[in-house]
Chains A and B, each alone.
Chain A
Amino acid sequence: MAVFVPTSLEELLTARAERPGLDLVAGGTDLVVEVNFGRHRLEDVASLSRVPELGGWRREGPAGPGGHLVLGSGLTYTEMLDPTLAELLPSLAQAARTVGSPQIRNAGTLGGNLGTASPAGDTLPVLAALEAEVLLGSAAGTRLVPLGEFVTGPKRTALAPDEVILAARVPVARGHQEFLKVGTRNAMVIAVCSVALVLDEQARQVRVGLGSVGPVPIRALEAERFAAEVVDWSTGRFSGGEADLRRFGELVGAAARPIDDHRSIASYRRRAVEVCARRALERTMSRQAA
């Protein structure tokens, strides 16, 4: 039998240990496309959809700053839109809503987005801006890898052949979050570029993740440092002027490493992340008082 449907994490990890490189499929929104198109010859494959340990999300540690949210790799995009979670991670919910169609959001998972590690993976810039870590597990144990070390290149990750993505571990941050994605259709479109912006009022940090403008999700560190200076940390709102927004946009644009491809051209992508970044920062001004 070539399709395994393990019903516990232990069963899954054992299978993966016995067959290193065993294909893993959750929502199928990436892998099954490759199989359908004859680009991936399926041998043995394990379905993750019936492993309860991979589903859902939970809090770890304190509820506020200092605590973490542990998002199971089986969490679907639709589940990211659940109001309770969306309130904690609004930028993740905003990103999830841009993924494909309702059908795709019902099937596709956080773990799949991480495992595929496409430069256009919609949750990746958000996870970058949230400073998420990826929890990997194997029969030998678990390890936590920062997102920036997990995604090693376009569609390349640090996942070992005997490992499985268990979860993303996200520090709880208080502050405004934004996600903007540019595509040439109003829905169901691969990102031409995307910008995630996360304010961390505790740490007094502005963190910016960029998608589809480089081989991996990019953090715009210089722009982040600049932005931290133009936020009024007593309100958590941008407090600068037009020139600051422009400067912030330029710094974000400078961090991008876009290319020309069939979806867009590099010069547009750079311009678009500039525009989206300044709009994201500007939107913190309209934030409702917490």
Chain B
Amino acid sequence: MGTAPTVARRDRLGLGTSPLRPDGGPKVRGEFAFSSDLWAEGALWGRVLRSPHASARILRIDTAAARALKGVHAVLTALDVPGSELYGLEFQDQPVFASDVVRYMGEPVAAVAADHPEIARRALELIEVEYEPTAPLVDPEAAITAPPIHPEGNVVRHIRLRHGEDAEPGLPGGDGLVSVEGTYEVGMQDQAFMGPESGLAIPDDGGGVDLYVSTQWLHVDRDQVAACLALPPEKVRLHLAGVGGAFGAREDVSLQVHICLLALSTRRPVKVVYSREESFFGHVHRHPARMWYRHSADPQGRLVKVEARIVLDGGAYSSSSSAVVSNAAAFSSGPYRVPNACVDAYAVRTNNPPCGAMRGFGAVQVCTAYEAQMDKLATALDLDPVELRLRNALASGDRLITGQVINGTAPVAEVIRRCAAAPLPEARPHPPAMALPGGAGRTADPARVRRGVGFAVGFKNLMYSEGFDDSSSARCRIEGGAITVTCAAAEVGQGFVTLVHQIAEDVFGTDGVVLAPAETATVGSAGSTSASRQTWMSGGAVDAACRAARDALCGRVAARHGLSPEMVSMRDGRVVSLGREVDLTLDEALAGDVVDESVTFRHAPTVPLDDKGQGDAHVSFAFAAHRAVVDVDVDLGLVRVVEIATAQDVGRVLHPLQVVGQIEGGIAQGVGLAVMEEILVTDGLVRNPSFTDYLIPTALDMPVVEIAGLVEEPEPGAPFGAKGVGEPPTISSTAAVAAAVRAATGLELPRVPIRPEHIALAAQ
């Protein structure tokens, strides 16, 4: 499969083909309604006041002057929260508004609603908050034992993973063993989706509220909002508005509670749109990590033991830290057979910005470390790095360091081989400056540019783990001439809406179904659009609901015509019998009746990790390999990522074009983390909350992506045999780029993002 496999088509529609996105037309016309595009007659503009301090006591809040400003309709603080003062994804530990202390820079303190966004801004300036700043706790290592900054303590979770016969700290015994050691760091990455947080809340006459919002998980937002508003869940109706990207940043509640409070308090519709700066403060980020590792292997390069200590900085509140650190521990040794492991992984609270979900969470951080270790080990053993990885590659039937046996597919060796086999790109003979490190800045001296190649492999769980009751609901209703599918899965750009039509095509022989808007009132939870789970979970739910509806309809027709049920099926959207004696339109087949089938789909159950970090905690795993080619200006330390080749374990390709889109997009984020993306925090204060200084790759920074292989080994138990494809591209692409820069420079470079000074000042 090449890099430009296909063009979307209108003539072939089912699974395995690339039909057009149903929302493509509105999106290219600028007519697609994102959450920031909504308006209601009489709506007010809401804004939130945030703490300028990372750690402070609040001595006094005076809102009188703000309330007195003409055009201001509400000024709310913690005193105005009728229900739960706290919310949170896993644990309710985060205040709707800070009242006594603030624990991070940007923590909400008050909210206003006004006639015009500028009046709202001026109102915020008139709110007097008297802070008494306190020394922030910003060192995650120190946080483990420091006095608690939160009633729940500083250690959100410590996973003490002990696996194998030699599971305690210390070098393994044995002849000729080789050990390598290193300490690695990962900076704080931001999801930096393009559409900032926004929403529109409309109060109803009965004390309830409709919230139109961009989110990844409608129902869990609904439950948190309802609890804070002290309303029953059915009085809070969430509707998915157009989502401008997510990548994990919309999994936690941001503006949802504030905007509903403002709407209920003013009895007016309220619109909130975060600025880019506020967006940086309004959502969680990828956990920064510090990781110590020691790998031991026998002379043939077989891993004997991995020891690791991993500290993730979760910032002020827990968000999804517990799941992130669980992943970090479980995947800490990479997709390799490791008989003995001793891993201590911590997620801690500090006064830094809260961290939570971002594409590949937990797995991305540790991959940068274990893959650097594998390269060190290859050097120590004088083995080819690819060969070393092949010698240790996990396969189906192998045991992870959590003790779990992989029952599904694990084509690790295959993705390694196919990625490594891709031909290397040739160096341009006379590259223009724009194609060299430094790009438009014309800094490169071709004689001082070194090329490097790096290889990395990564993996991650698909879907939710550790006993979470992970499910998705879907409903299929056939009425009149129409088939309507309802599912609350959040379309965030990935193309779930396309998949629904493909499934319908396969089930009904027509893609002419209506996909109802995603909302909370008429259908159950679809779970989150995260963890590479929606194709499996909501795809599975939609497929099951469609099949149930089809079978019900066909069964009724069969009964009516005295046929056995298996004699009747659907073709081209019509209900037909085997010999076409019966051939009915939907309307005719229904005969005035209605078919309405709801299905809740669940994956195989999992269990929590035990006190030794052992247990069948995961359902399925996906693997990918990346090979990066970089050019490095060794004097200036500037890096040009030239090409990324990749092979990925996908189970089955359902939409070739969308798979490529996920791979290229995920690689872009991996490249960004490798060489430029970091939220800089000093003493708890964010120094670069803007697109001027938080840099993400532009079109000139994106390497050529060579898709060397999409490995299709259908996953048992997966609807369609398909694995989620969203996260693996991000997991090992960062590690591969870092490895390539190390190869080009000969430097250790234990931290990502690699900054120019790490190279330029070390090389001398």
Contacts and interface: CB of A to CB of B under 8 A. Distances in A.
A185 B698 contact: yes
B756 A180 contact: no
A241 interface: no
B438 interface: yes
Contact of A181 (B442, B640, B700): B442
Interface string A170-194: 0000000011111111111111101
A265 B687 CA distance: 14
B199 to A, nearest CB: 21
B227 interface: no
Contact of A268 (B445, B688, B701, B756): B756
B760 A186 contact: no
A183 B675 CA distance: 12
B121 A186 contact: no
A178 B441 CA distance: 11
A190 B693 CA distance: 8
Interface in B669-685: 675-676, 680
Interface in A94-152: 94, 97-98
Given A262-B680, A262-B688, A271 B760 contact: yes
B647 to A, nearest CB: 27
A86 to B, nearest CB: 13
Given A37-B277, A182-B638, A187 B757 contact: no
Interface in A189-205: 189-192, 194
B276 to A, nearest CB: 9
Nearest to A35: B118
Given A192-B756, A262-B687, A187 B693 contact: no
A8 interface: no
A143 to B, nearest CB: 34
Contacts of A192: 756
Contacts of B637: 268
A192 B439 CA distance: 14
Interface in B443-476: 443, 445
A275 interface: yes
B235 interface: no
A178 B444 CA distance: 13
A276 interface: yes
B401 to A, nearest CB: 36
A268 B754 CA distance: 14
Contact of B438 (A94, A182, A188, A262): A182
A262 B693 contact: yes
Nearest to A101: B698
Interface string B615-656: 000000000000000000001111010000000000000000
Nearest to B695: A185
Nearest to A189: B695
B628 to A, nearest CB: 16
A262 B679 CA distance: 10
B440 A279 contact: no
B692 interface: yes
B667 to A, nearest CB: 16
B441 A181 contact: yes
A268 B760 contact: yes
A275 B440 CA distance: 17
A62 interface: no
Contacts of B441: 98, 180-183, 186, 189, 191, 194
Nearest to A94: B442
A183 B639 CA distance: 11
A262 B687 CA distance: 6
A24 B427 CA distance: 48
B85 to A, nearest CB: 29
A185 B676 contact: yes
Nearest to A275: B635
Given A38-B121, A188-B698, A271 B439 contact: no
Nearest to B688: A262
B440 A272 contact: no
A182 B434 CA distance: 13
Contacts of B700: 185-187
B714 interface: no
Contacts of B761: 267-268, 271
B755 interface: yes
B544 to A, nearest CB: 46
B125 to A, nearest CB: 8
A265 B443 contact: no
A263 interface: yes
Nearest to B694: A262
B636 A275 contact: yes
B643 to A, nearest CB: 15
B275 interface: yes
A239 interface: no
Given A272-B760, A279-B443, A185 B701 contact: yes
B721 interface: no
B438 A179 contact: no
Contacts of B638: 182, 184
B172 interface: no
A81 B440 CA distance: 13
Interface in B573-596: none
B480 interface: no
A17 to B, nearest CB: 29
Interface in B313-348: none
A98 B680 CA distance: 24
Contacts of A14: none
Nearest to B686: A262
Interface in B750-764: 755-757, 760-761, 764
- Among A37, A265, A268, which residue has the most Cβ atoms of chain B within 10 A? A268
Interface in B692-707: 692-693, 695, 697-701
A264 interface: yes
Contacts of B121: 38
A236 B108 CA distance: 62
Contact of B443 (A180, A267, A282): A180
27 contacts: A37-B277, A94-B442, A97-B440, A98-B440, A181-B440, A181-B441, A182-B638, A184-B755, A185-B697, A185-B701, A186-B440, A186-B640, A187-B439, A187-B440, A189-B695, A190-B693, A191-B441, A194-B441, A262-B687, A262-B688, A263-B693, A264-B756, A268-B757, A268-B761, A271-B760, A271-B761, A275-B443
Per CB-CB distance, the 10 closest pairs between chain A and chain B, nearest first, are: A186-B439, A268-B757, A181-B441, A186-B700, A262-B687, A187-B700, A275-B635, A187-B440, A180-B443, A98-B440
